[in-house]
Amino acid sequence: MRAGAAAGALALASLLAGRAGAGLIDCAAVVDRWNGAGMAAPVAEWIEIYEQAHYDSDCEGPVVERIGLEIIGRELGPVRRAYERGGGDDALRAVRDRLDALQEFGSHWQLSFLRGEVSRRLRDVPGALRAYQDALALVDDEELTAVAPTRDEVLLLRDRLDETAVVAAQVLPSGVALPATGSGELFSQYSFATRGFPRMLVLVPILFVYAKDVMTESGRASFRDAYETLSAQGSPAIAVIGHTDPVGSAEYNRRLSLDRANAVRSALTALGYPGAITVDGKGEDEPFRFDDPGLYSLEVRHQAHRRVELVLQEG
């Protein structure tokens, strides 16, 4: 019997639909079978029970979701170990296929995060971006993720999302679009907090044309999303920090980075942003730090350096 099975049985029983409909298995019988299966049961039996609950019984959604999440929890460990063993692209694609199969049983932030890791190693930038975005959206949803990740897990997820976003902004024609939550609201890729963990600095992939203070097309799309997210957070006081790539003199890059920060401030002001805005330019002194620079070409890395960051101003 799995640990906590008694408590789990009570929780599941409270969600039963009641009497079985015509031709459907009574959900209570499905739950009894599930609770009796235990960890020693082959995963094929778990999947059979899940499919029975999903398709052939009068079980309601929460019961099916609970069983699906337990299947994900059981199988995620072996899939993660397969990823950690390494290997070439074929091995990575096999891991991604296993993760895709697990997604049939529900949503879990760790599953989405691991899919992002695999896609990142495969240089599938759009796939990695969406997977990391999905993971963060799930972390932010306290109903779907009742137990919050640790601070280190949240920080790693945010770092991965930053890196992927500045690269994706270069390869996605429409820019880095934010997915919506179930309520239709933008989630907090650009917010200053995730599940209670504050973040003073938020990187937004507002990218600029080489040697200019003009936003790229994708940079403008990212700016619009950032503006909406800042407004939803109460339009806090922020500092806009501009950066450049290392091409050119230090003094030239310092001026250019300040011009870029001013361009973002002007765009915010034109939209009526009520919060206080200060600007600064770091030139080439603080390049974007990639966890694994070898995944990207020199031009991609240089474009990522040409960015702005938003820093929350306390008080």
What was the pLDDT predicted at 6?
41
Spell 251-285 as b/e; 16+ CB within 10 A means b: eebbbbbbbbbbbbbebbeeeebeeebebebbbbe
In the three-class reduction of DSSP (H, G, I as helix; E, B as strand; rest coil), residue 292 is classed as: coil
Asked whether the beta carbons of 136 and 148 are under 8 A apart, the reply is no
Asked whether the beta carbons of 288 and 307 are under 8 A apart, the reply is yes
H helices of the chain, where?
5-13, 27-37, 43-55, 61-84, 89-102, 109-121, 125-140, 151-171, 217-232, 250-270, 298-305
How far is residue 162 CA from its own chain's centroid?
10
- Single out the residue of 126, 115, 170 nearest to residue 305, CA to CA: 170
Q: Which amino acid is at 20?
A: A
What was the pLDDT predicted at 8?
45
Separation of alpha carbons 102 and 70, rounded Å: 11
- Write down the architecture of domain 174-312 according to CATH: 2-Layer Sandwich (3.30)
pLDDT in tens, the chain (315 residues): 444 444 444 444 444 444 344 579 999 999 999 999 988 899 999 999 999 999 999 999 999 999 999 999 999 999 999 999 999 999 999 999 999 999 999 999 999 999 999 999 999 998 998 899 899 989 988 888 999 999 999 999 999 988 988 888 777 755 556 554 444 444 457 778 888 888 888 777 788 888 888 888 878 888 888 898 889 889 999 999 999 999 999 999 999 999 999 999 999 999 999 999 999 999 999 999 998 899 999 999 998 898 888 888 875
Q: Give pTM, 2 decimals.
A: 0.80
Domain extents in the chain: 1-85, 174-312
